[in-house]
Chains A and B, each alone.
Chain A
Amino acid sequence: MYNFLRLLRKYIRPYSDKVLAAVVLMFMHTGFAMAMPLVLKYLVDDVLYKERYHLLIWVFLVYLGLRAMNSLVAYMRGLIVVRLGQAVVYLLRRDIYAQLNRLQLSYYDRTQSGKIVSRLINDVNIIQNMVTTSFITYFTDLITLVTAIGILLSINTQLAFLAILVIPAYIINYNGFIGRVRENSHRIRRKTDEIIAYLSERISGVRVIKAFNQEKQENKRAFKKLRTYYHLNYRAAMLSSGMSIIAQILSGMSTAVVLWYGGYLVLQDRLSTGGLIAFYSLVAYLYNPAVHFSQINTVIQRMRAALDRIYELLDMYPQIADKPGSPALKAEEGHIRFENVSFRYDGTRRVLEKITLDIPSGSKVAVIGRSGSGKSTLASLIARFYDPTEGYITIDGQDIREVKIESLRKQIGIVFQESMLFSGTIRDNICYGSPRATDEEMIIATRAARIDDFVEALPDNYYSMIGERGVSLSGGQKQRIAIARALLTQPRILIFDDCTSALDAQTEAAIQETLQDIMKNRTNLVITHRLSTIIDADLIVVLDEGSIVEQGVHDALLNLGGVYASMFQQQFGLVNP
């Protein structure tokens, strides 16, 4: 319930005028609705029994007027409620999305993207449902209940007490179910997540499924998941019907008793016929809310489950965030230093061990090493995707944890090992980090990445759509687009993580050539397995199992006769036919 209060405070309070208006309108709505049985009473007791038929036209007009008012009020309330619901959903989604963008990568390492999406979409939908219907119904019902009790009491106290007598039974019924309903709702939400995550993964991995002929097995797996989902939902449906049916039985029985005892009172002249009829119509207003409460209950439990999950996300503290008042990075030089840096991913063994490394500005430093030795990890620390477990990293003498992250990342251009493009046009992708780049600038970057010929040969050239994750491009084309994307931001520091692995030697050499110019005046970190591209590096760092085992220039390392030398022999020695 605590989260619900927070929702109220943060997202609903700004609309308190709307909520107030909705409640007032609701009140009016109930008022008008409950006045109708009174018109009926008047009709029977004062018009028909007393044979004052000239008043009939008034009955007609008043009744019609009440209905018209009722409809007007309902209309206005509808508009306000929709507005409220939409606004709350809008604000919630905006905040969740902003929070998602604040959270550090290790969060994404742990959480399947499908599950994240599910929170942003499905959980919020549930909240919307709650705000627009249940929440308002709750209010109305409460008001209706109180007013109905008041009117009933005024018509006949005895009968009213009799009618109210069953209300505790409703409460018992409600309490009997609530625990199970709540638990089930949580399970359903978790299962929904799981299914969405499963689906999205299987959809992106469809090539593998097909290549390995696993359609049938996947079908089986899906069926199993969907079946559990079905059972949970079925159980939820059963619980909620169980609850509402018991409520209905209660209301039916008590209505019967009211009519019976009411008839008795009329015969004793302690109640008029019209009064009995009005009472009969009004009792519905007493029991309907009670029935509603038990139906709404399910919705509310679902809402609580959703709300808890939303707040769990919103409350997550971004582990990598700007310190308050941290200055922007001043990177005139772009001199990077690793000072005794060790790092482990959450709960795994150490991936980097006591790395001390100096990358002077304007230099080209190569990091090589066997697969899994920690090269990509090293690169991701510079952009502060993760914070070192020990030690620190400075750029131009400023600890990167002490500066604004945005200012840091703006200075760094990374080409990832996996190209990761987005669906959209080629232009959208190249200009991703620099939306304000002009066409000329974009074309220069494209040319430097040697992808200009390909793009310009396409029918829509820069405006060609490339599909999700760039599916309609070849591996090498994707890599070059990613290179162009990084170059266009004109960063001080350039990081290339094995980004020419899918390129043929010629294209690679051509890119190397253009890069030579671009790399001047910048700090460059190159990760690669192709040693030929880094022979001219100012410093070659050899990583092995997370530690630096050798560093130096090519010649020195070759003469050293260590790991580098053997790697070099390996790569070129092989060529020997």
Chain B
Amino acid sequence: MNTLTRFLTILRPYRRQALLAIFFSAGMPLTILPIPFFIKYLVDTVIALQQPQLLINVLIGLVAVYLAHNILCILFHLNISYLGQRIVLDLRYKLFRHLQRLSLSFYDQTQTGTIISKTIDDVDVIQMLISGPAVQAVTGIITITVVSILLFFNDWRLAIVTLAVMPLYILNFKLFIKRIKSCNLRNREKMDEILGDVQEKISGVQVVKAFSMERQEVEYFTSKIREKFGLGLEQGALGSTFSAIAIIISGLGTALVLWLGGLEVRYGLITIGDLLAFNTLISMLYTPALQLSELNDVVQQAITSLERIFELMDTEPDIQESLHACHLPLIKGSISFKNVTFGYLPDQTILHDICLEIEPGQMVALVGHTGSGKSSIINLLPRFYDIHSGSIEIDGYDIREVQISSLRDQIGIVLQDPLLFNISIRENIAYGRLEASMKEVEEAAKSAEIHDFIMTLPQGYNTCLGDEGIKISMGEKQRIAIARAILKQPRILILDEATSALDSLSETLIQTALDKIMQGRTSIVVAHRLSTILNADKIVVLDDGHIVQLGAHEELLQQEGPYRRFYEEQFMNQAIMSRPELKGALFNIV
């Protein structure tokens, strides 16, 4: 479907308003059409025939015409303001909803700045199109048609002369359209690029400062906006040339009419009043023609923006709910990975043939070198990504066959990156269950060992986090993220290095609380500090995307294998080795 027809489908819910808008915008120029005839009347009848008593007709007629015109204008403005803003609201909301549907792989590949630029700036361009050019186009086309007909009635010879220059407009348009369009696109894309970069550098400003890169950043930015400057000039030059040519064309038409019209007056074919009326009519013809071609610029920009918006809307989420997906009932929590192979990109394999059975209520630990695929396994359970082959089943349901929300509702996850939002602490903790009572929130916070900290804040749970509120330390963030996952009371609890930034005391305390919570729930824990996973029912040792060992702590410790090496490494650090007197002490503890 082409962009403009698609745009019309967006308008469909508002077709009544849109039709009204067209009606009004057609009416506006039509109501002022009689003006030239009043002028002719004034010149040929009132003045030429010396009829002062008729003068009042001119006044009454003109006032009536202008009044009608203005009333239409008011109606039109009321209507178009609503329409334009309403469509912007709809478009933005649609885009936002669509963004919520898109899968993580989309976000992995797209800069935040680009998405924002589409939802804000491109939609603004559309709004401009609706309340400005789109209307002008309608008005222009209707005016041109009606005026052309009137011209013929008035004087067909002059009408032919007038219309003879119209093809030149079209030629001019054809000549420029491609270049203007491509220039617009490049300009928007440059903007995206700049926005994406700026957005990132501003959120990472600490790094910029730590490395004293301010000057380089400013230089880089300057070079980018310089490129944009160049594109802006090109765009401007194209636009100016285009409209300059259009002005000459209309000038040619009017000049010809005055000349030939004068000759016609000479041979008595028309009266002076006719010529004057004709002249006024022509300006009514050329003004919209001129506007229409200037509109071209805006319309082209709007089309570029529309294309970008549609491109985003057309990005289908990789993760699709199957058509006959069923609701996942309250689960017991058995999980089974059957020959799961997975990669983030189609031709990449991160996890190889993973087979893993987890009984309801079990605690399973994933260990392995960094980059071995622990977080990747975890990403698969809530179906953030789809696997390449094999299957993942929860309570016997293939997760691709159930409704995604019913699946995710039963999984509580603490991501490796504890992301919080700029809302109050309470809202952050209750993020997954907005209806939770204050008591529940506090309990979750207590289990996550963060309650005491929150109480030291002047506004307690109502303290806003983030840029608008307070910044907190890494460990505090992690604990809030834990509280958030706990509060959800999920059937499956996933902790991806949830306590990596915590001191061992806090970690132990949380561990104790978690042990209680994990009773009766299936849990999957990723941790490098083996101390946190010693009492796991099952330890899965991953290496480079393969499961290399599987079993309980004692079992694995008996075997010669990577787990034992991990274990030894952790407690017999280089530093300790270098102090033989400590070695003994430590081994005793162990």
Residue among B86, B212, B279 with the highest chain A CB neighbour number at 10 A: B212
Bound together, the chains give a CA A234 to CA B84 distance in angstroms of 9
Which residues of chain B have C-beta atoms less than 8 A from A56's C-beta?
258-259, 262-263, 266
The 6 closest A-B pairs by CB, nearest first: A67-B251, A476-B370, A371-B475, A82-B236, A78-B240, A252-B66
Contact A102 B508 (CB under 8 A): no
Contact B217 A101 (CB under 8 A): yes
Task: State the main secondary structure of chain B at its contact with A.
Answer: helix
Closest chain A CB from B206 CB (angstroms)? 6
Bound together, the chains give a CA A237 to CA B76 distance in angstroms of 12
Known contacts being A110-B467, A476-B371, is A471 close to B213, with CB within 8 Å?
no
Which residues of chain A have C-beta atoms less than 8 A from B578's C-beta?
536
Closest chain B CB from A241 CB (angstroms)? 3
Q: B62 at the A/B interface (Cβ < 8 Å)?
A: yes
Contact B505 A59 (CB under 8 A): no
Q: Annotate B488-510 by CB proximity to A: 1 below 8 A, 0 otherwise.
A: 10000000010011111110100
Additional A-B contact list (17), CB under 8 Å, known A241-B78, A263-B55: A59-B255, A97-B217, A121-B195, A202-B421, A205-B419, A208-B419, A222-B93, A234-B82, A245-B74, A260-B59, A376-B474, A420-B203, A467-B108, A476-B370, A506-B566, A572-B586, A572-B590
- Chain B, Cβ-Cβ closest to A267: B52
Contact B505 A370 (CB under 8 A): yes
Partner of B210 from the list A409, A472, A576 (CB cut-off 8 Å) is A409
Contact A417 B501 (CB under 8 A): yes
Known contacts being A60-B255, A256-B62, is A93 close to B225, with CB within 8 Å?
yes
Q: A173 at the A/B interface (Cβ < 8 Å)?
A: no
Q: Annotate B271-296 by CB proximity to A: 1 below 8 A, 0 otherwise.
A: 01001100100000000000000000
Contact B589 A208 (CB under 8 A): no
Bound together, the chains give a CA A406 to CA B531 distance in angstroms of 43
Q: A365 at the A/B interface (Cβ < 8 Å)?
A: no
Q: B136 at the A/B interface (Cβ < 8 Å)?
A: no
Partner of A512 from the list B214, B276, B415, B574 (CB cut-off 8 Å) is B574
Which residues of chain A have C-beta atoms less than 8 A from B237's C-beta?
78-79, 82
Q: B244 at the A/B interface (Cβ < 8 Å)?
A: yes
Q: Annotate B195-235 by CB proximity to A: 1 below 8 A, 0 otherwise.
A: 11011111111111111111111100110011011001101
- Segment of B10-18, B353-361, B403-411, B515-523 in the binding face: B403-411
Bound together, the chains give a CA A206 to CA B473 distance in angstroms of 22
Contact A86 B470 (CB under 8 A): no
Closest chain A CB from B379 CB (angstroms)? 9
Contact B582 A64 (CB under 8 A): no
Bound together, the chains give a CA A89 to CA B228 distance in angstroms of 10
Which residues of chain A have C-beta atoms less than 8 A from B255's C-beta?
59-61, 63-64, 67
Which residues of chain A have C-beta atoms less than 8 A from B210's C-beta?
383, 385, 409, 412, 414, 416, 433
Bound together, the chains give a CA A203 to CA B222 distance in angstroms of 27
Closest chain A CB from B261 CB (angstroms)? 9
Which residues of chain A have C-beta atoms less than 8 A from B573's C-beta?
505, 509, 512, 532-533, 535
Q: B248 at the A/B interface (Cβ < 8 Å)?
A: yes
Partner of A264 from the list B55, B252, B258, B554 (CB cut-off 8 Å) is B55
Q: A432 at the A/B interface (Cβ < 8 Å)?
A: yes
Contact A475 B370 (CB under 8 A): yes
Task: Report A149-194 residues with CB < 8 Å from chain B CB.
Answer: 192
Q: Annotate A411-451 by CB proximity to B: 1 below 8 A, 0 otherwise.
A: 01010111011110000000011010000000000000000
Which residues of chain B have C-beta atoms less than 8 A from A521's C-beta?
none
Closest chain A CB from B573 CB (angstroms)? 4
- Pick 19 A–B contacts, CB within 8 A, sort by A: A90-B225, A90-B226, A97-B221, A110-B467, A208-B419, A210-B104, A212-B431, A218-B100, A226-B93, A249-B66, A263-B47, A263-B58, A267-B52, A467-B108, A506-B565, A532-B570, A532-B576, A574-B508, A575-B530
Partner of A70 from the list B82, B235, B247, B256 (CB cut-off 8 Å) is B247
Partner of A475 from the list B47, B109, B375, B589 (CB cut-off 8 Å) is B375
Bound together, the chains give a CA A110 to CA B96 distance in angstroms of 26
Q: A214 at the A/B interface (Cβ < 8 Å)?
A: yes
- Chain A, Cβ-Cβ closest to B70: A249
Known contacts being A60-B255, A82-B233, A371-B503, is A43 close to B262, with CB within 8 Å?
yes
Contact B204 A63 (CB under 8 A): no
Which residues of chain A have C-beta atoms less than 8 A from B108's C-beta?
467, 471-472
Contact A475 B417 (CB under 8 A): yes
Known contacts being A64-B251, A117-B202, is A372 close to B432, with CB within 8 Å?
no
Q: Annotate B15-50 by CB proximity to A: 1 below 8 A, 0 otherwise.
A: 000000000000000000000001100110011001
Residue among B52, B116, B422 with the highest chain A CB neighbour number at 10 A: B116
Known contacts being A90-B229, A219-B100, A420-B204, is A79 close to B413, with CB within 8 Å?
no
Which residues of chain B have C-beta atoms less than 8 A from A530's C-beta?
529
Known contacts being A67-B254, A253-B63, A576-B590, is A208 close to B503, with CB within 8 Å?
no
Contact B116 A196 (CB under 8 A): yes
Q: A571 at the A/B interface (Cβ < 8 Å)?
A: yes
Which residues of chain A have C-beta atoms less than 8 A from B569's C-beta?
505-506, 509
Which residues of chain A have C-beta atoms less than 8 A from B405's C-beta?
213, 215
- Chain B, Cβ-Cβ closest to A500: B528
Q: B120 at the A/B interface (Cβ < 8 Å)?
A: yes
Partner of A109 from the list B112, B419, B453, B471 (CB cut-off 8 Å) is B471
Known contacts being A409-B209, A467-B108, is A256 close to B344, with CB within 8 Å?
no
Contact A51 B232 (CB under 8 A): no
Partner of A423 from the list B62, B111, B453, B566 (CB cut-off 8 Å) is B111
Which residues of chain B have C-beta atoms less than 8 A from A503's C-beta?
370, 528
Partner of A267 from the list B55, B191, B475, B504 (CB cut-off 8 Å) is B55
Closest chain A CB from B589 CB (angstroms)? 5
Closest chain A CB from B462 CB (angstroms)? 15
Q: B460 at the A/B interface (Cβ < 8 Å)?
A: no
Bound together, the chains give a CA A234 to CA B382 distance in angstroms of 41
Q: A463 at the A/B interface (Cβ < 8 Å)?
A: no
Q: Annotate A455-472 by CB proximity to B: 1 below 8 A, 0 otherwise.
A: 000000000000111011
Q: B97 at the A/B interface (Cβ < 8 Å)?
A: yes
Partner of B211 from the list A71, A207, A409, A509 (CB cut-off 8 Å) is A409
Contact A71 B370 (CB under 8 A): no
- Chain A, Cβ-Cβ closest to B411: A211
Bound together, the chains give a CA A509 to CA B472 distance in angstroms of 29
Q: A519 at the A/B interface (Cβ < 8 Å)?
A: no
Q: B245 at the A/B interface (Cβ < 8 Å)?
A: yes
- Chain B, Cβ-Cβ closest to A531: B504
- Chain B, Cβ-Cβ closest to A256: B62
Q: A369 at the A/B interface (Cβ < 8 Å)?
A: yes
Contact A529 B502 (CB under 8 A): yes
Partner of A195 from the list B38, B120, B382 (CB cut-off 8 Å) is B120
Which residues of chain B have C-beta atoms less than 8 A from A110's C-beta?
467-468
- Chain A, Cβ-Cβ closest to B344: A472
Contact A238 B81 (CB under 8 A): yes
- Chain B, Cβ-Cβ closest to A530: B529
Task: Report B425-443 residues with CB < 8 Å from chain A CB.
Answer: 431-432, 434
Closest chain B CB from A521 CB (angstroms)? 19
Contact A108 B239 (CB under 8 A): no
Bound together, the chains give a CA A413 to CA B486 distance in angstroms of 37
Bound together, the chains give a CA A430 to CA B102 distance in angstroms of 31
Q: B301 at the A/B interface (Cβ < 8 Å)?
A: no
Task: Report A107-137 residues with CB < 8 Å from chain B CB.
Answer: 108-114, 116-117, 120-122, 125
Contact A570 B508 (CB under 8 A): yes
Contact A49 B431 (CB under 8 A): no
Contact A67 B272 (CB under 8 A): no
Contact B262 A59 (CB under 8 A): yes
Known contacts being A48-B265, A212-B431, A259-B38, is A385 close to B211, with CB within 8 Å?
no
Bound together, the chains give a CA A233 to CA B131 distance in angstroms of 12
- Chain B, Cβ-Cβ closest to A257: B59
Known contacts being A60-B258, A417-B474, is A230 close to B88, with CB within 8 Å?
yes
Contact B104 A206 (CB under 8 A): yes
Closest chain B CB from A258 CB (angstroms)? 9
Known contacts being A48-B265, A575-B531, is A260 close to B431, with CB within 8 Å?
no
Bound together, the chains give a CA A75 to CA B117 distance in angstroms of 31
